Each structure stands twice: as C-alpha cells, then as structure tokens.
Structure 1
C-alpha cells in the first residue's frame, strides 16, 4: 500500500468524532487499521502516516495496565474515551494508545506501527519508533484525540488491504486473545504474526 501525500493546501483530514472511541477496544482496534495518524507541526504542516498495526487491551485481562489497580501512571486509561494514553516503557520508549470504551474502565488501543508516505518502511515500525517519529511523549498523555490539540486520527483514504488477526506482542499473559490486527505482509509491521495459544483454564 502506498498512501498518497496530502496536497499542500488541502484541508486537514477530519478527526474521528469522540463517539467513535466510546466502544470496546476490540471493536475500535481493527477499525483503525488503514486510518491516518495526523500531527500538526510547529510550522503548520501536517505529518501523517497510515496505521498498519494495532493491539487492544481491556481491564478484565491480565496484559492490561489497568488489570489490578488504578494508579497515577495509568489513570488516563480509565477514561474518558477519545484521549491519548502515553506511557514510558523501560524508561526509554514512549507507547501511544487511544483510550476507548467507557469511563472508569481501563480500555484502549495501542498503535504499534505506522507507514509514512515517501519514508523508509521501518521508520515507525514499532511503538517506540512510532512515538519518536511523530514526536509524541508524556506531554500528550490525557490530551483529546482532536484537531484542536494537534494530534488526531482520521478516516482511511483508501482500502487498507488484507486485515489479519494475531496474538499480541511482548506479553506473557492473554496470548489466547486475537487482539492484534495488522495488514498482511506489510513492510512496516513491528513483528510477524504471533500464533494464538490455547486458554489455560
């Protein structure tokens, strides 16, 4: 898939309405594949790329940050939906999530990989690389996913390709859930497909 760059004087691609995110992460996650992550730069230009990989997380399963307890660090994940949840992992890499679901319930979609037009395919192939390329850090945490804040998600401009499910990456629990979505054989994916594991109970 080769997304076309936006014309220099075109209107900004419209952000999803907040109601779009007011659904469970496992519904929102696959629908974000093929959509655009857009950031307004300091000079007014738009940096954007196509979402090619996402993962869902929800409070009832052990891989979620909000599984056991609500803390100052994970409070944003508990809602309201339609806000960014950005956290630092290993003290180095930022991970970018959009909060979904409902208030007082930890639920969100991790953006795992983005394909940027006319840039190397691996430049945002993973959560840390994605955040670095877009300049997303803890200052974006709890900010609305909206044009007014300069960082938003908008609808796809073209068919996304073949969507496949996978187990999530980099976790030890919840590997029985098919909560990772990716475009088949896309060069910007962070990791290959991970097979599901049978439930242990």
Structure 2
C-alpha cells in the first residue's frame, strides 16, 4: 500500500519528545515512522512500544549508568538510541525527557504503509525492514532522513498496557505495565 504524505502530516517537534516517557510512549502509537533510503521514503505506523524510565528502571540500559553505549540515551530528547542485540539485531529507542534523564521508548512493532518489505513484528525485524542500523545511533529525529509524523487521520487509538517483553531479570520492574500497543492491531509482535 502506498501512502502519500499530505500537507497536513506534520513532523513531530522536539517538544513532543521532551515529556514524561510513559506519556510519549502512549502518544507514539499511531504516529508514522519515516526513513528515506536512497531517496525512497519507507513509512510505517507505530503500533507497539515499550517505555524505559531511566537509571532506576532495572530493565533500562541506562540503569548501568552513562557509558559509551548509552551516551545517546542520556542525550537530548528526540534522538535515536540504536543498539545491537545478540550480535545481529538492531533495536531503536526514541530518547525522551530532558537531557541527562536516560529515558526512552523502544519501538517494538510497526504496520507497513509504504515501501516496507518483510515482517515488522518485533524490534529487530522492524529496524531491518525500515533500513535502520547503528549508523543511526544518536540521529536527530527532527531531521529529514529519519523522523516521525503526525498522520492526517490522527485518531486516539485504544491502547493496551502489559508488562514489557524479555525483562524477567529486572526484579520489581519486570511486571510493570510499560509495554503499550494498539488493541486489535495484527502487526504487534506478540499478543
């Protein structure tokens, strides 16, 4: 399916990201992720995310403090924190809250809209299909190459909150309902 970018689709600005992480996580649902690859815009609707609440959140990378790996997560809001897991899968977080917070929102699944091939049901599959890798570490999401849009047909989705996936090691943080997805969307990573 092709999606035309109309005049009413606005790029999200820095203020959108510079808010409470859980608020941003919920607000990202339904937004359009756009990545221009060799002049072709790959576009997908965000349908599933997870919030990571900073150094006190034992599931967050920032709980280990400021490191070379987490530098972008402690940076200004509205930037990408991209990292490699299992030596083969890239994952992308949207950095939130004021600089130094170490907070972010993991993009877990998207619904393909234009020029996206392959499965997008999971953070590693999403980045592969969207062409996002470590070269986007710290990338400004208010740029033209990689950004998020408010869709013309923006409607408040019905949101489901559950515990995050794969964070059983995070003690009391493992069961907190910080995974959010659009109810009934067939593109979420797991039910």
TM score, norm. by length of structure 2:
0.89
In 2, the alpha carbon distance for the partners of 1:118 and 1:100 equals: 27
Q: Where does residue 52 of structure 2 map in the other structure?
A: 57
Give CA-to-partner distance per residue, 1:160-185, whole Å, 9 cap, x none: 53211111011112123211110112
In the TM superposition, what is the alpha-carbon distance from 1:130 to its structure 2 partner? 0.3
Q: Where does residue 120 of structure 2 map in the other structure?
A: 124
Q: More displaced, 151-160 or 55-64?
A: 151-160
Give CA-to-partner distance per residue, 1:116-136, whole Å, 9 cap, x none: 137899710000000000110
Considering fraction of residues, name the structure with more helix.
2
In 2, the alpha carbon distance for the partners of 1:12 and 1:88 equals: 35
The DSSP-based 3-state class of the residue aligned with 2:119 is coil
Q: Where does residue 140 of structure 2 map in the other structure?
A: 144
TM score, norm. by length of structure 1:
0.85
Q: 1:55 to 1:152 in 2, by over 3 A?
A: same
Aligned residues: 186
Give CA-to-partner distance per residue, 1:72-116, whole Å, 9 cap, x none: 011110021110000000111000111001111210000000001
Q: 1:115 to 1:121 in 2, by over 3 A?
A: farther
1:144-163 equivalences in 2 (<5 Å)? 144-148=140-144, 150-158=145-153, 159=155, 161-163=157-159
Q: 1:135 to 1:19 in 2, by over 3 A?
A: same
Considering fraction of residues, name the structure with more strand.
2
Q: Which runs of 4+ in 1 moved over 4 A?
A: 118-122
Unaligned runs of 5+ in 1: 193-201
